[in-house]
C-alpha cells in the first residue's frame, strides 16, 4: 500500500492543447476582410493586382522548383544524396515533431533560462502533423509561462507560424478528447 501524500506535495501536471496557425491562413483572412470593407471598384482593382502578383509568385515558385530539381540531380551525380533541399519540400505540408520541439525548447530557454525550463517540466504528449494540433504537458505552476513561450514562437524551419493554446486541462483524457474536436484553423468571416 502506498503512503498517502497531500495533493500539495504531489507533482501536479496540466495539459495544454495547442494549435499551429500558418501565415498562409492569416493572409487569407486579411484578404477576406479587405474584400468586405472595400467598394466594388476598389475590389476589382485589387483583384487585378492580386492576380498579377499570383502570376509572379507562380513563376517564382516554378523557378525555385527547377532549381531544387537541378540541385537534386547534381547531388545524385556526385553521390551525396538528396539531403538539404528535400527538407524544404517536406515543410510545405506540415511542421515535423522534431522541428516543433526544437522551437518550443528554444523559446523556453530564451525566456526563462536553464532553471526556469527545468521547473516547467515540458513534455510533448501528442502531435498531429497534418492538422497541426498537439498536447503539451507541464507543471501546474508554470502553465502561464509555457503559454507565453508558445506565443513567442513566430518561425519554425523558416516558415512563419503562430502557436495558439486552445485549452488547458488537468487530465490527459480530457485533453485528448478536446484535441480531437479541434478542426483545422479557419478564420471566420
Which tens digits make up the pLDDT trace of 69-123?
Answer: 777 777 777 654 444 433 333 434 678 999 999 999 999 999 999 999 999 999 9
Structural domain includes residue 35:
no
Q: What is the DSSP letter of 141?
A: G
Please indicate, yes or no, if residue 68 is contained in any of the structural domains: yes
pLDDT at 5: 56
CATH of residue 146: 3.30.70.3250
Q: Where are the beta strands (DSSP E) in 25-131?
A: 123-128
- Whether 72 and 111 map to the same domain: the answer is no
User: 134, 128 in Cβ contact below 8 A?
Assistant: yes
pTM of the model: 0.58
Are 99 and 156 found together in one domain? yes
Q: Quick one: 133 and 157 in the same domain?
A: yes
Beta bridge partners of 19: 133, 164
Tens digits of residue pLDDT in 138-179: 999 999 999 999 999 999 988 888 898 889 999 999 999 988
Closest CA to 167 of 134, 139, 142: 134
Residue scoring higher pLDDT (54 or 188): 54
Q: For residues 152 and 186, which has the higher predicted lDDT (pLDDT)?
A: 152
Whole domain around residue 25: which residue ranges? 13-29+94-181
Q: Do 165 and 139 belong together in one domain?
A: yes
What are the tens digits of pLDDT across the range 4-59? 655 554 568 899 988 888 876 666 666 666 666 666 677 778 888 888 888 877 77
Cα–Cα distance for residue pair 50/33, rounded to 1 Å: 15
Number of domains in the chain: 2
Are residue 63 and residue 130 in the same domain, yes or no? Answer: no
Amino acid at each position: 500500500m502506498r503512503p498517502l501524500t497531500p495533493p500539495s506535495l504531489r507533482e501536479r501536471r496540466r495539459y495544454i492543447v495547442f494549435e499551429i496557425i500558418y501565415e498562409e491562413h492569416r493572409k487569407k483572412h486579411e484578404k477576406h476582410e479587405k474584400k468586405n470593407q472595400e467598394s466594388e471598384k476598389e475590389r476589382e482593382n485589387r483583384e487585378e493586382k492580386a492576380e498579377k502578383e499570383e502570376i509572379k509568385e507562380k513563376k517564382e515558385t516554378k523557378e525555385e522548383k527547377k532549381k531544387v530539381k537541378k540541385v537534386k540531380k547534381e547531388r545524385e551525380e556526385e553521390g551525396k544524396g538528396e539531403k538539404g533541399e528535400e527538407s524544404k519540400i517536406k515543410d510545405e505540408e506540415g511542421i515535423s515533431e522534431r522541428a516543433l520541439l526544437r522551437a518550443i525548447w528554444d523559446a523556453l530557454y530564451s525566456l526563462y533560462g536553464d532553471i526556469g525550463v527545468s521547473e516547467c517540466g515540458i513534455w510533448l504528449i501528442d502531435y498531429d502533423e497534418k492538422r497541426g494540433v498537439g498536447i503539451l504537458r507541464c507543471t501546474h505552476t508554470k502553465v502561464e509561462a509555457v503559454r507565453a513561450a508558445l506565443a513567442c514562437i513566430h518561425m519554425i524551419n523558416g516558415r512563419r507560424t503562430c502557436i495558439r493554446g486552445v485549452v488547458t486541462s488537468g487530465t490527459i483524457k480530457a485533453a485528448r478528447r478536446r484535441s480531437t474536436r479541434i478542426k483545422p484553423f479557419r478564420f471566420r468571416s
